[in-house]
Amino acid sequence: MASEVKTNKLSPSTGTTLSVGDSGDTLALATDAVTGFNVGSDAAGDVLYNDGTDYTRLAKPGTPADEVLTFATGATAPSWVAAGGGGLNSVQTFTASGTWTRPADVTKVIMYVTGGGGGGKSGTAPTSTCGGFSGSTAIKFLDVSSISTATITIGGAGVAGASPTAGGNSIWSDGTNTITGVGGGAGTNSTQNTGTRPTATGGDINLSGGSTTASNYASMGSYWGSGSNVNAAGLNPGEGGYGPYFGTGGNGAAGILYVQEYK
């Protein structure tokens, strides 16, 4: 049908666009109830915002799709921004050296960096021997919004023997921050271990590695668990090896780096 002008109604012909007013004209609606009104888009999720003078269309967010509206100080209209942080997004566990890569949307991490456990001292009767010290653990909260990668080093296990070796250091290094779980010292011939008890560095909390205080005992446990009571290697990450009264000592356990990642 052709376009018609009726009392209180404008009816454009099908398929045509009705234009009302000229440039510079002010058009007003009689009530606040508006049905079917669109400003350049009918996309689901769009928001029509009135700033006190005019309406502005706020298009729905694209990628990421979990954006929310916020009103920044001094702004004349709200805007879509990434959803607020704080939720646990993901975790990464390193038991071998490698590279940490920040996942999309992650801005903060809490990491646990544990060095390798020292090897237990082997001995022959009547010599008393001690187990290796466990690796120390650094706990660190870090804002990684400007960090894309970090180099991860995992401390190796100390080896048992007549001349046991210490555990290696586990390290997070991103060019600005260095967080180190220092490896545990090796066991010694003594009724009280005179080896090196390590303390972590660079963390918000720097824990010392557990130590043996008497002969014929396993090393004390690491942050990740208690020590072994048998002539064996450390059971949990960072534990030192067993130190027998006499006989073969146990190897330490390798370190670990555990990262909790938050939005």
Q: How far apart are CA 187 and CA 208, in angstroms?
A: 16
Residue 102 has what pLDDT? 96
Dihedrals phi, psi of 116, to nearest 5 degrees: -70, 150
As a whole number of angstroms, the distance between CA 74 and CA 72 comes to 6
Predicted pLDDT of residue 58: 75
Low-confidence stretches of the chain (pLDDT < 50) are none
**Backbone torsions φ then ψ of 93, nearest 5 degrees:** -120, 125
Task: List, for residues 48-102, the tens digit of each pLDDT value.
Answer: 777 777 777 777 776 556 677 777 666 667 777 666 656 889 999 999 999 999 9
Which pLDDT belongs to residue 192? 77
pLDDT at 225: 86
Q: What is the predicted pLDDT for the residue at 56?
A: 73
Distance CA 244, CA 156 (A): 22
Taking the C-alpha atoms of residue 109 and residue 117, their distance in angstroms, rounded to an integer, is 25
Find out whether 250 and 131 touch, Cβ atoms under 8 Å.
yes
pLDDT of residue 224: 94
- Which residue ranges make up each domain of the chain? 1-83, 85-263
CA distance 60 to 69: 10
Whole-number Å distance between alpha carbons of 118 and 138: 17
pLDDT given for residue 150 in this prediction: 98
Reference 45, options 27, 9, 69; nearest CA is 69
What letter would DSSP give residue 37? -
CB distance 255 to 81 below 8 Å? no
